[in-house]
Every structure is written in C-alpha cells, then in structure tokens.
Chain A
C-alpha cells in the first residue's frame, strides 16, 4: 500500500522559493501567474493492507518527522 504525503508551508509563512518561481514565470511571459507556493511530496511504500491503519500511521510519521507543524501543514493520501 502506498501513502502520499503532501507538505506545504502554512498560509502566512513566507515562501521565498515560491515567490522566486512566480517572478521567473512572470518574466517568461506568463503574466497570469499570481502567488506561487512550493511544497514537497513524499511517497511511502507501506507493508500494510488496512487503509485506515496506513493513514493513521502515516499521519503520525508526518507529525513526528516528515513535516514541521510549526511552519508546515500536511495532507495524507492512501493509494491502493
């Protein structure tokens, strides 16, 4: 079973990388681009068959290590 963790900086936390990407896109002529936020995706292969258990375990991993909840929020998806 695969778990996919998406980690983003919380709203209100400055994202200088997103800002730089936005500027670069504007410079390339994509004038429609406004705010850009950048995050990361972590895929985990789990030896687990129960989707509920997989989700709970992955959320614990995200809280303990994968995300710093002072500055980041995370979302867990379980893919069969």
Chain B
C-alpha cells in the first residue's frame, strides 16, 4: 500500500499520520503539497490529515477543496483509489463532494478536545478488517466543527446502504446526526471521520486503539 499524504497550509497532523503509516505500512508515505496537480505514480491511498487548512476561512475545508491537487484526488477516487480524510481532511472531502453531507459547528459551540468511543459498524472494508464487527475503540478528537449533517434522505441512504463507518458510542458530544462519526463512499473506498485514530497507535501515546485502521489498510 503506497500512501500519499496531502499537505495544505494550516494542516498540523501530518506528522502523526506519517508515524501511523510508517509503523503499519513499513514504507514511507509521499508528502504532496496542495499546489501539485498530480499524485505520485503508484499511489494507492490518499490521506488528508487534520488541522486548520487555510485558517478554516469561509468554512472548514472550503478553500482546500478548491486546491489544484484536489482534481487529481477526485480522479483517483473515480478510478477506485483509496482516500482517507480525518478531521479537517473529512471536512475537505465533503466540501469537495467526495462524500455527502457537511460538518457544522459543534452543537454545544465548544471546541472538543478529549477522547471519545467509536463503534465499528462493519469490518468487511479495507479500513476496518482488523477490528471485530461492533467493536468499540477509543479515539482522540479535537474539533470545533464536527457536527455531521445531511438531509434525511441522505442519512437514510447511508444507513440503508451500510455506509456509516463509525458512530460515537459513549456520547454524541458534537451533535452529529444519528451519532455518525465517519462515513464511506458507495464503493467503500473513501472514508472520512472526525476523530483521530492516528493519535493512538503506540503505547507511548497511551494506547494503540487506532492502530487497526492502519493495519487493515496495510493488509488490503
């Protein structure tokens, strides 16, 4: 699995993502600046890390979604390539139309910096094969705009088609519709989620709850 990690101005979680990829994949990810127009040849997985791209101006992820590299990311996704967007990365791929819905301001208006519990809705995808179905794991979250919203028809379709990847299982602190923390594209190859599995991949970080995400991808 060859990964390319995208870098936009204001992104700050790329180092965590590099560590997670290095540890599980056993090879270095490529780092791709947002002004590039092509992904490195042989890229299997595009990762959009967390942070505050372009200062979250206008709307979270709105500017980054218009960056030159995003055209290449869309073609990659259309060809069936893998895409992982975490936190700001999730916001960017919803703004870019790779996933439906949008992330609104947290319902309680406060920035949430704490651990949450997530439930694995299905384990037959390239992102979740190393978990048991229904498993719960701890994941740090750090966001002001993580309140997932979409109209009822889209929410019904996501649930009916099994495209909900993770749900908040201890408390729905940001007010997300139907406690949704992460969703898949219809072909199950694009995943976006708000919490940060890459921040719990080593005992030194206090746990390895997030490691199965990267081990699953490594095994794909």
Contact = CB atoms under 8 A, between A and B. Distances in A.
A66 B66 CA distance: 11
A13 to B, nearest CB: 6
B109 A16 contact: yes
A7 to B, nearest CB: 9
Given A65-B66, A68-B95, A70-B150, A13 B101 contact: no
Contacts of B66: 64-65
Given A13-B104, A65-B62, A20 B109 contact: yes
A16 B62 contact: no
A66 B63 CA distance: 10
B149 A68 contact: no
A33 to B, nearest CB: 18
Nearest to A42: B58
Given A66-B58, A71-B104, A14 B109 contact: no
A26 interface: no
Contact of A14 (B94, B149, B150): B149
Given A13-B149, A14-B147, A14-B149, A70 B62 contact: no
B88 to A, nearest CB: 15
Nearest to B154: A70
Contacts of A13: 104, 149
Contacts of A66: 58
Contacts of A20: 109
B109 A71 contact: no
Interface in B147-191: 147, 149-150, 175
A65 B58 CA distance: 9
Nearest to B152: A12
B1 interface: no
A68 B59 contact: yes
Interface in A41-62: none
B32 interface: no
Interface string B89-107: 0000011000011101111
**Which residue among A13, A17, A20, A70 has the maximum number of chain B CB atoms within 10 Å of its CB?**
A70
Interface in A1-28: 9, 13-14, 16-17, 20
B102 A71 contact: yes
A53 B23 CA distance: 54
B70 to A, nearest CB: 13
Given A68-B95, A70-B150, A71-B149, A14 B104 contact: yes
Given A13-B149, A14-B175, A70-B101, 10 more contacts: A13-B104, A14-B107, A16-B106, A16-B109, A16-B147, A65-B58, A68-B59, A68-B62, A71-B102, A71-B149
3 tightest A-B contacts by CB? A71-B102, A70-B102, A16-B109
